[in-house]
Amino acid sequence: MKQLIFDIGGTYIKYAYFVDEKVTTGSFPVTDNNGKEDVPNALRNFLKNYQVDEIGVSMPGPFDFTNGISYMDFKLPSIYKKNVKQIFQEIFPNAKILFIHDAVAFSLGALSENPKLKEKKMAVIMLGTGLGYGYIDHGRVIVSKEKETFPCVGRMPYLDGVIENYTAASALVRLANEAGYKFKYVKEMAIEAEHDDKLKDIFYQVGKTLGEVMNARKVVTPFSYIMIGGGASNVWHLLKEGFESVCKISYQIIKDSTMCPINGVRLALRLNDEKQYLKIVNE
């Protein structure tokens, strides 16, 4: 069995090529040689070097995950209202092709890392620039009729904005800069925080807010475990104390957030029936 799994983002397309259990991973830009954003040709140029039986794609929404059509108007303009599925079918007309929402893929990847949680209800947090959230009920990710994780916790109202404005990487950078620092990225902020108590306190407060949010979510939709990943989880040692000061729910940090959505797509391909891994709710 030959599988190509893609995780399509706004700058790079990450991939994993499986030949049975042997895997090769890497990434390539969404731009062409001239620097113009061009996902269709980036994919075509990549695909011509492979032979596959199955293709799985983790894709941000809004997206028609059944028919493979993108409705994102805020990034990846080269595929807006285009049929991405046809790009794959041009080269591999007989391959099985599956698209799933990136947060669903990440949630399933978290489940594949800890399969014993299939018998429980758990939450999955994706700490990136924004806050991704997934809820899994006995092995199935709760999704909307558009097959996106539901609810979208990060965009829920909170104070004078939305939750992700106070819990994600963007919140850390914003709060630090409001305090007089000049950071672009959490990574550089975390390095300075090792010897700066003022910055440590910002991490503490954001961690605490995230813990309060998870306590509130547990009241609405009970769960007994949390899986935490995403790029900002790399600075969890700075967020941990604040989070644990208010949230006593058992949790673990995902080992490899880069492979997590890829593993999730592969799990969905293996299950072969979306009823086995999705639970659509009436909004």
pLDDT tens digits, 75-119: 889 999 999 999 999 999 999 999 999 999 999 999 998 888 888
Q: Could you tell me where the beta strands, DSSP code E, fall in the chain?
A: 2-8, 12-19, 22-29, 54-59, 63-64, 69-70, 96-101, 121-127, 131-137, 140-143, 157-158, 161-162, 225-229, 251-253, 278-280
The pTM of the full predicted model, rounded to 2 decimals, is 0.92
| 124, two tokens | 């999955």
Beta bridge partners, 162, equal 157
pLDDT score recorded for residue 145:
93
pLDDT score recorded for residue 33:
75
Distance CA 86, CA 91 (A): 9
pLDDT tens digits, 12-56: 899 999 998 899 999 998 887 778 889 999 999 999 889 999 999
- pLDDT at 283 exceeding the cut of 60: no
Tell me 98's DSSP state: E
pLDDT tens digits, 187-204: 999 999 999 999 999 999
Residue tagged 């797509």 (tokens): 265
Tell me 176's DSSP state: H
Sheet holding 251-253, edge to edge: 251-253, 225-229, 121-127, 131-137, 140-143, 278-280
